[in-house]
Amino acid sequence: MLVPDLPLRTERLVLRAFTATDLAVVRDYRGRPEVTRFLYQEPYDDETVRPAIDRMVRRTALRAPGDVLQLAVTLPDSGVVVGDVLLNWTSGEHRQGEIGYAAHPDHTGRGYVTEAARELLRLGFDGLGLHRIVGRLDARNTASARVLERLGMRREAHLRENEFVKGEWTDEWVYALLAREWRAAA
């Protein structure tokens, strides 16, 4: 079980729980087709953002396998939300997790997501005791692949047309990192 002491601070960022007042900013960046192009979800609209933000607000701890921790990535001085990162506790028995993230397009290209996701790897390995954390992505999502590679994750699989997403067959890449590899790199 992991109940992080929020907010978390990294070198340049504050990672905090989402609140209902983040609805507009989440609607803004996760409402853009270019942000959700390689995600399973459609861009949020005024209707779909409501249950989404309700879910995000509750994702503050990993109490049981299946839980998701999802945090707003913010700038310390302004409080501006630059994106979000998440850690999904996918298996208790096998001590597995999965990371995910999305950035506001106004704040990409600065390494914020990599920095925030690194903190989630730390929580997953050191806080929750996970053995392995994966990142799964559409194989065309090269910006996301670069994030995972900067985190030191290894591309372990290229699945050919394993899913039918948004009207087309898509390839999937699976990246992974083991706890001992994380510790050796630290």
Identify the bridge partners of residue 153 per DSSP, sorted by sequence position: none
CA gap 140, 137 in Å, rounded: 8
Q: Check residue 26 for interaction with ligand COA (CB under 6 A).
A: no
Contact by Cβ (8 Å): 40, 62: no
Q: Check residue 112 for interaction with ligand COA (CB under 6 A).
A: yes
Q: Check residue 147 for interaction with ligand COA (CB under 6 A).
A: yes
3-state SS, residue 81: strand
- Give the per-residue contact string, 90-109, with ligand COA (x = CB under 6 A; - = no): ----------xxxx----xx
Nearest distance, CB of residue 142 and ligand COA, angstroms: 8
Measured N-to-C along each axis, helices 142-150 and 112-122 cross at an angle, to the nearest 10 degrees, of 50
Judged by beta carbon, residue 109 or residue 167, the one nearer ligand COA is 109
34-93 residues in contact with ligand COA (CB under 6 A) are: 35, 38-39
Judged by beta carbon, residue 10 or residue 92, the one nearer ligand COA is 10
Nearest distance, CB of residue 7 and ligand COA, angstroms: 19
- Report residue 179 as tokens: 């706890």
Nearest distance, CB of residue 146 and ligand COA, angstroms: 4
Number of residues that bind ligand COA (CB under 6 A): 20
Q: Whats the size of the chain, residue-wise?
A: 186
Contact by Cβ (8 Å): 133, 96: yes
Q: Which of 9, 58, 110, 180 binds ligand COA (CB under 6 A)?
A: 110
- Report residue 44 as tokens: 């949020």
Residues 6+ apart with CB under 8 A from 90: 65, 66, 96, 97, 98, 134
Nearest distance, CB of residue 33 and ligand COA, angstroms: 10
Q: Which residues bind ligand COA (CB under 6 A)?
A: 35, 38-39, 100-103, 108-114, 137, 141, 143-144, 146-147
